[in-house]
Amino acid sequence: MPDSLPNTDSYWMPFTANRQFKARPKLLVSAKDMHYKTADGATLLDGTAGLWCVNAGHSRPKIVEAIQRQAAELDYAPPFQVAHPAAFENASRVAALLPGDLNKVFFVNSGSESVDTALKIAIAYHRVRGQGTRTRIIGRERGYHGVGFGGISVGGIPNNRKVFGSLLTGVDHLPHTHNLEHNAFSRGQPEWGAHLADSLEGIVALHDASNIAAVIVEPMAGSTGVLIPPKGYLQRLREICDRHGILLIFDEVISGFGRLGTAFATEFFGVTPDIVTCAKGINSGTVPMGAVIVRDGIYDAFMQGPPEVIELFHGYTCSAHPMAVAASLATLDLYREEGIFENAAALSSYFEDAVHSLRGLPNVIDVRNLGLVAGIELAPIPGKPTARAYDVFTRCFFDIGILIRTTGDIIALSPPLIITRAQVDELVGKLAIAIKAAA
């Protein structure tokens, strides 16, 4: 460890085993393009785009300069009853990446805020249309929708919920779609499982459609271990929601901004929801930011009554923060100028072949992939869930020179979308060494 090791006492780290971390800190001190530098001076190939967000690669000059310029010119502007011009341009540019009438953009500062905002809009939307009994929200087992009370309520990860009291009332959950018996080692979307969407009909029958506001799912679930939707599943959810007047929300915090090789997953799957949540890749993770995009009809439903009355009592001090917006505009420019989403699309089958070469390694019980995302599931060590994948993660960080992410015993890969073929080979080759060493 270098002499400059910080005193780690005061910082309560998020989603981290604090005592384990502080016994042997994993510290990152700089980053450029596809690589991090650690406090030990080692170079890590970034296999996770930071945390599913640095889609354009690290410390890109165009984004850095935009943030610097903005900080010097207009550091902050209040977003309530006042605005700065670039916020409007940013909203138009984000809306232009989404299909159909998904045209109205509400800015927030994180994925969690985007989810809670979307849930509030969904419930309030029905109310302003005179359907105020539609308040229930349907999430899904194993869903991850951030850490706000709304997000953990509709989310389906037991550890994220169990110690936080009664949560939001009026929530129900669809079954998750992960099934190794039917779908292990699927390439791309699995064949089996579209029928799992039909359980929404059962939930509607139980509660009655007149009480249900929205269904929220990640079109491709990342944080819970890369769960790829079965073929036809999302289409069926859309049909059932339409049949019952229920809004469909796609949480695209991970899948937005090119992860699957299209701007958003909605385009990839050919299914258009009513509301989209996003964050992370909106400015390549450089400044906290998120957004909720709604269909015109949802926005229009609120634009009733006297024009001097605030239509939605919701917002954040840093909604459309000038630096976040400047970073987003520069990032969207880079995505377009360098064809970064197209690079993700062009590399996805190479990436698929590479990650599936891990099949057959010790303890690998599944490999799944879509776009530039892969999940490699390991058999847990009996009685010690998560230990095997954590061992792989630690070896990768300290000994092997790649940054990966693990959830339970699942390794997730989601590299920056500027990755090259040679770097795909390096990432997967080094991961194979770590998996073998950890066995």
Q: How many residues bind ligand PLP (CB under 6 A)?
A: 15
Question: Among 63-71, 79-87, 104-112, 346-354, which window interacts with ligand PLP (CB under 6 A)?
Answer: 104-112
Q: How far is the CB of 154 from ligand PLP (least distance, A)?
A: 10
What order of strands is seen across the sheet that includes strand 290-295?
Answer: 102-108, 290-295, 275-278, 247-251, 212-217, 136-140, 171-174
SS3 category, 320: coil
DSSP string covering 384-396, please?
Answer: BTTHHHHHHHHHI
Q: Which of 201, 189, 181 is nearest to 226 (CA)?
A: 189
Q: How far is the CB of 218 from ligand PLP (least distance, A)?
A: 5
- The one among 38, 55, 112, 177 contacting ligand PLP by CB under 6 A: 112
Q: How far is the CB of 303 from ligand PLP (least distance, A)?
A: 28
Question: Among 4-12, 251-259, 293-301, 347-355, which window interacts with ligand PLP (CB under 6 A)?
Answer: 251-259
Q: Name the residue nearer to ligand PLP (CB basis): 111 or 371.
A: 111
Tell me the HSE value of 127 on the side-chain side, using a 13 A CA sphere: 10
- The one among 47, 50, 111, 273 contacting ligand PLP by CB under 6 A: 111
Question: Among 85-93, 142-150, 351-359, 387-395, which window interacts with ligand PLP (CB under 6 A)?
Answer: 142-150
Q: How far is the CB of 110 from ligand PLP (least distance, A)?
A: 4
Q: Does residue number 145 form part of the binding site for ligand PLP (CB under 6 A)?
A: yes
Q: Name the residue nearer to ligand PLP (CB basis): 38 or 110.
A: 110
- The one among 146, 273, 285, 375 contacting ligand PLP by CB under 6 A: 146
| DSSP-assigned beta bridge partners for residue 46 | 403
Tokens linked to 56: 């354009």
- The one among 44, 66, 105, 115 contacting ligand PLP by CB under 6 A: 115
CB contact burial 392-421 (16+ within 10 A = b; e otherwise) = bbbbbbeebbbbbbbbbbbbbbbbbbbbee
Q: Name the residue nearer to ligand PLP (CB basis): 220 or 246.
A: 220
Query: What distances in angstroms separate CA 285 from CA 141, 289, 339, one per listed residue?
Result: 27, 8, 18
Q: Does residue number 110 form part of the binding site for ligand PLP (CB under 6 A)?
A: yes
How far apart, in whole angstroms, are the C-alpha atoms of residue 358 and residue 423? 16
- The one among 116, 172, 251, 352 contacting ligand PLP by CB under 6 A: 251
CB atoms within 10 A of CB 425: 13
Question: Among 83-91, 165-173, 217-225, 309-317, which window interacts with ligand PLP (CB under 6 A)?
Answer: 217-225
Q: How far is CA 351 from the centre of its chain?
A: 20
Q: Does residue number 222 form part of the binding site for ligand PLP (CB under 6 A)?
A: yes
Residue pair 326/74 in contact by the 8 Å Cβ criterion: no
Residues in contact with ligand PLP, shown as a per-residue x/- string from 266 to 285 under the rule CB under 6 A: -------------x------
- Residue, CB closest to ligand PLP: 111
Q: At what angle do helices 340-356 and 421-438 cross, to 10 degrees?
A: 40
Residue pair 392/30 in contact by the 8 Å Cβ criterion: no
Q: How far is the CB of 373 from ligand PLP (least distance, A)?
A: 11
- The one among 254, 372, 410, 413 contacting ligand PLP by CB under 6 A: 254
Tokens linked to 272: 């258009």
Q: How far is the CB of 41 from ligand PLP (least distance, A)?
A: 29
Q: 141 CB contacts (<8 Å, ≥6 apart)?
A: 156, 173, 174, 175, 176
CB atoms within 10 A of CB 97: 23
The residue type of 149 is F
- The one among 106, 144, 257, 393 contacting ligand PLP by CB under 6 A: 144
Q: How far is the CB of 146 from ligand PLP (least distance, A)?
A: 3
Q: How far is the CB of 170 from ligand PLP (least distance, A)?
A: 20
Q: How far is the CB of 54 from ligand PLP (least distance, A)?
A: 13
Q: Name the residue nearer to ligand PLP (CB basis): 150 or 190.
A: 150
Q: 243 CB contacts (<8 Å, ≥6 apart)?
A: none
- The one among 46, 218, 352, 377 contacting ligand PLP by CB under 6 A: 218
What order of strands is seen across the sheet that includes strand 35-38?
Answer: 28-32, 35-38, 43-46, 402-403
- Rule CB under 6 A: which residues touch ligand PLP? 52, 110-112, 115, 144-146, 218, 222-223, 251, 253-254, 279
